[in-house]
């Protein structure tokens, strides 16, 4: 992956948007990740914390999209504290489990951090 600008995306919720309609959040997230994987300029990393870690675990509707991004070189970093808090560590299906230090380092190394 060779981009002119290092972008890091943050997921801190179980899907995109500020709505209680989970099906809409899932649909928006799936569309966003699909289009991001088709873009020539991929993000350097996607970080997941709080409820965002659920996107990389069993039952997530976007596992295929995340696997494709990871296969294309995008680092997927999940917050270990959050996984432990929710009891999801054994249900992780994509990405790497890291600490908040890993997420901070990734953000500091980015040109742009986008929270969705």
The total domain count for the chain is 1
- Decide if 95 is inside a domain: yes
Per residue in 78-100, pLDDT (tens digit) is 999 999 999 999 999 999 999 99
- Decide if 84 is inside a domain: yes
Statement: residue 58 has pLDDT above 60: yes
- Decide if 92 is inside a domain: yes
Long-range own/partner contacts, residues 81-90 (CB < 8 A, 24 or more apart): 82/48, 82/49, 82/50, 82/51, 82/52, 82/53, 83/53, 83/57, 86/53, 86/54, 88/53, 88/54, 88/57
Mean pLDDT (the chain, rounded) = 95
Q: What global pTM score does this model have?
A: 0.93
- CATH number of the domain to which 17 belongs: 3.40.1260.10
Q: What is the Cα–Cα distance from 42 to 91, expressed in whole angstroms? A: 26
pLDDT band at 3 (very low <50, low <70, confident <90, very high): very low
pLDDT band at 41 (very low <50, low <70, confident <90, very high): confident
Statement: residue 38 has pLDDT above 80: yes
- Decide if 103 is inside a domain: yes
pLDDT given at position 4: 65
- Give me the percent of the chain exceeding a pLDDT of 90: 93
- Decide if 13 is inside a domain: yes
- Give me the percent of the chain exceeding a pLDDT of 70: 97
- Decide if 1 is inside a domain: no
- Decide if 2 is inside a domain: no
Structural domain including 49 reads 7-115
């Amino acid at each position: 992956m060779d981009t002119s600008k290092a972008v890091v995306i943050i997921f801190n919720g179980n899907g995109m948007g500020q709505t209680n309609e989970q099906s809409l959040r899932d649909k928006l997230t799936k569309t966003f990740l699909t289009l991001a994987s088709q873009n020539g300029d991929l993000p350097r990393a996607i970080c997941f914390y709080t409820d965002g870690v659920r996107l990389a675990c069993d039952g997530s509707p976007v596992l295929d999209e995340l696997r494709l991004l990871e296969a294309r070189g995008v680092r997927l970093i999940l917050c270990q504290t959050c996984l432990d808090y929710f009891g999801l560590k054994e249900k992780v299906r994509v990405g790497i489990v890291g600490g908040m230090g890993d997420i901070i380092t990734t953000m500091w190394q980015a040109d742009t951090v986008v929270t969705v």
